[in-house]
Amino acid sequence: MDKPLNVVVLVGSTSVPEQVFRSAFGDVPPANVFSRVSGRAVTVSLVAQLPAAPELELASSHVLAPRRTPLLDRLLAKLPVARLEGSLRTSPLGRLLLSLGPTDPSKVYWRAVRADPQAMAMLSSADVLLAADLPAVRTAWHFLHSGRVPSAYFGLQAAEKVFAARFKVAAPAE
């Protein structure tokens, strides 16, 4: 018997994980969806900003620990960045400034994951990373391009199609 495919889902926003999964799969647990379309055993784990409900039937779930905000983020948070964002986006220096701080959720999530040894271990053990939302894409990209995971995808609905095409186990010949 093959070992189960280890899927780790990343939710980088502060969305409630159940809502993210429910919008993609309804009330069916994610492991059941991926097992059904791939024809093989699948375990699903989660790394998110908020805790997940037991009804998701996850193999494991890790909530990123709140940590002290870096100095640059604290300084940028004091500035009226939201009001300045439109004008900052028009210059290369302004875009760089926006990409460094709290206005870029993907970098904030990536730094939180990088600072959390348990999250790093979970992601490194994955066969497949699924970025469920835009803030999680940078983290999945870093892991894929550093060679720490064999594959990574964006979007839970797209992942269902990928699993059907890429991870399907052929039925034994009779």
How confident is the model over 33-63, as pLDDT tens digits?
Answer: 999 998 899 999 999 999 999 999 999 999 9
Of 96, 100, 116, nearest to 108 (Cα)? 100
Q: Which pLDDT band, with edges at 50, 70 and 90, does 89 fall under?
A: confident
Q: Which pLDDT band, with edges at 50, 70 and 90, does 26 fall under?
A: very high
Residue 110 covered by a domain: no
Residues 134 and 88 both lie in one domain: no
Domain count of the fold of the chain: 2
Asked which of 55, 80, 104 is the last residue of a domain, the reply is: 104
DSSP category for residue 80? T
pTM of the entire structure? 0.82
Residue 48 covered by a domain: yes
Residue 15 covered by a domain: yes
**Nearest 5°: phi and psi at 38?**
-95, -20
Residues 53 and 122 both lie in one domain: yes
Q: Which domain holds residue 39?
A: 5-65+116-166
Residues 18 and 43 both lie in one domain: yes
Answer with the residue of higher pLDDT: 7 or 103: 7
**Strands annotated E in the chain:** 5-11, 42-48, 60-63, 128-131, 151-154
pLDDT digits (tens, 9 = 90+) for 92-120: 888 787 777 666 788 889 988 998 999 99
Within 51-116, where are the H helices? 71-78, 81-88, 92-100, 105-114
Residues 61 and 80 both lie in one domain: no
